[in-house]
Structure 1
Amino acid sequence: MTGRRGAPPPPPEPLPAPVVDAHTHLDACGCTDADSVGAAMDRANAVGVRKVVTVADDLPSARWVSQAVEWHDDLYGAVALHPTRTAAADFTDDVKAELEKLAGHPRVRAIGETGLDYYWDFAPPRAEQREAFAWHIALAERLGKPVMIHDRDAHDDVLSVLRAERPQGTVIFHCFSGDAAMARLCADAGWMLSFAGPVTFRNASALWEAAAAVPLEQILVETDAPFLTPHPHRGKPNEPYLLPWTVRAIADLQRRPLDEVCAAVDANAERVFGPW
């Protein structure tokens, strides 16, 4: 495993019932082949993370995902171009055609991550990002697969594109970062909100309120590994086996028993990505 800083954290206490990591990047975690993928999945399964969705953010990663999902029975995938990689000069017809082919793999269960990113200075112009986002939504609709959204400092425009495109399939807000008002708006629209490590951070009161405001049947959990390692290991390398920290935080915020939350988020994942 590679990743952030220092040695990998120790495994957390296993969950009382299995859950699914709805969004991770096993290639960025240092997994390169069937053996390293299998080892990461073993570490996850040992603490109750029964299945994992590994997500592409560029074309080489999408190619890798479409191979890696065949290396383990509990690994599934999502493919798309991250919004920071959607400059018009690079997002050609050939790229679109290859993405569509890769997205058709039966173990690729979502189109993602796509969306808008206004944080990075190197991100493409906003109009080009919006056009690529709309294309990915249309692809998800054609294939009948969920669309998995990256939304960084772009809440209003992400919502604007969704209102314009009006996807009829499942919409997943990966690593939801909005406040309680936005969470309620998304929930009212029927969308899924996926929470990652930041919901465990000590300075995340707005995100705590958002997680508490969402109906449990619309919540997914994820690591976004190797990024966003949950407290108390923030800044250390992340991997799917650290997901229990986030699940326990959701249970606390929802004021529900941990086993009830595990069962619900697991069922939600199967409804969204399954049947397994």
Structure 2
Amino acid sequence: MTKRHGERPPVPEALPVPAVDSHTHLDACGAKNADDVRALLDRAAAAGVDRVVTVADDLASARWAAEAATWDDRVFAAVALHPTRTSSFGDAERAELTALARRPRVVAIGETGLDYYWDYSSTADQHAAFRWHIGLSKLVDKPLMIHDREAHDDILKILDEEGAPSTVVFHCFSGDLAFARACVERGFVLSFAGTVTFRNAHALREAAKRTPADHVLVETDAPFLTPHPFRGRPNEPYAANYTLRDLATLREVDLGELAATVTRNAERVFRLGDVAES
């Protein structure tokens, strides 16, 4: 049977309760303008995913995300410099990111953190940039969205040293149960992507099963990390539906209950109600 790697998965039946995709990259999904964004969000809405946070990984993406969040009320933004992009990070970049972070529809500082898998930026550059982003999160009083790849211990060490912002989200959580507990003890929120549906991700699935409900978010990280059974095919925000269904089964809870829970969590973490009223 052909795996049809170039085709998007089918749009699934709508969730019984609308949910939020807490981390996606609409520009990387191919969106360039307001019409493209609307088309992506309409497909998501058909699956019961009614809002998204589109996340930047470099300065150009941050500019685009902040602007795209003004094109459609279903879209919010997060801005930061990805840890693999921190080899050139000077005063001009810091000033522009600070200005973007103050925009009302920018609801988080992210994604920032550490990535020890790729070697595009030195450890020293990554650490310095991560510490600066922690400070920015505190300055603008918006959640910090963490990228953590093979850097669990150092992420926690730096957060402890700097003093974590009031809200911290581990995007695409990748740790085991012990690391999940260390994060939850600090009050951090764990966002689970399509990787949690992978049948060989035993330690991650155990962490997702046991994380307290009020610390759980769901995301796509689209166009990456498409959930099982469509792994390897292009991802979009509507596929958060598949991850939610798998998580509900894993956690042995009703799908509608889980969708309502992650929606309440997203609204609390990103203060989406405050944005809508501003």
TM-score by length of 1: 0.96
Q: Cα offset for 1:44?
A: 0.3
1:9 and 2:6 correspond: no
What is the aligned partner in structure 2 of residue 99 from structure 1? 97
- Write the letter of the residue equivalent to 1:165: E
- Write the letter of the residue equivalent to 1:22: S
Q: Cα offset for 1:13?
A: 2.0
CA RMSD in angstroms, aligned pairs only: 1.0
1:110 and 2:108 correspond: yes
What is the distance in 2 between the residues matched to 1:103 and 1:81? 12
What is the distance in 1 between the residues matched to 2:240 and 2:111? 19
Q: Spell out, residue by residue over 1:204-246, the C-alpha distance to the aligned partner (whole angstroms, 9 max, x if none).
A: 1111100012100110000000000001110000000111111
What is the aligned partner in structure 1 of residue 167 from structure 2? 170
Q: Cα offset for 1:168?
A: 3.5
Structure 1 SS opposite 2:50: strand
What is the aligned partner in structure 1 of residue 19 from structure 2? 19
Q: Cα offset for 1:5?
A: 3.9
Q: Provide runs of 4+ in structure 1 moved above 2 Å.
A: none
Structure 1 runs not aligned, ≥5 long? none
Contact 2:143–2:165 under 8 Å retained in 1: no
What is the distance in 2 between the residues matched to 1:45 and 1:214? 27
Contact 1:8–1:236 under 8 Å retained in 2: yes
Q: Aligned match of 1:127 in 112, 121, 124?
A: 124
Q: Aligned match of 1:258 in 228, 239, 255?
A: 255
Contact 1:66–1:108 under 8 Å retained in 2: yes
- Write the letter of the residue equivalent to 1:82: H
Q: Spell out, residue by residue over 1:137-169, the C-alpha distance to the aligned partner (whole angstroms, 9 max, x if none).
A: 100000000000000011111111111111231
Q: Spell out, residue by residue over 1:59-104, the C-alpha distance to the aligned partner (whole angstroms, 9 max, x if none).
A: 00001011100110110000000000011xx100000000100111
What is the aligned partner in structure 1 of residue 41 from structure 2? 41
What is the distance in 1 between the residues matched to 2:20 and 2:114? 25
- Give runs of aligned pairs for residues 1-276 of structure 1, distance below 5 A: 5-87=5-87, 90-121=88-119, 123-273=120-270, 274-275=272-273, 276=276
Contact 2:144–2:165 under 8 Å retained in 1: no
Q: Cα offset for 1:254?
A: 1.6
- Write the letter of the residue equivalent to 1:119: Y
Q: Cα offset for 1:255?
A: 1.3
Q: Cα offset for 1:12?
A: 1.5
Contact 1:111–1:139 under 8 Å retained in 2: yes
Q: Cα offset for 1:189?
A: 0.9
Contact 2:80–2:133 under 8 Å retained in 1: yes
Structure 2 runs not aligned, ≥5 long? none
- Write the letter of the residue equivalent to 1:16: P
Q: Cα offset for 1:197?
A: 0.2
Contact 1:184–1:213 under 8 Å retained in 2: no
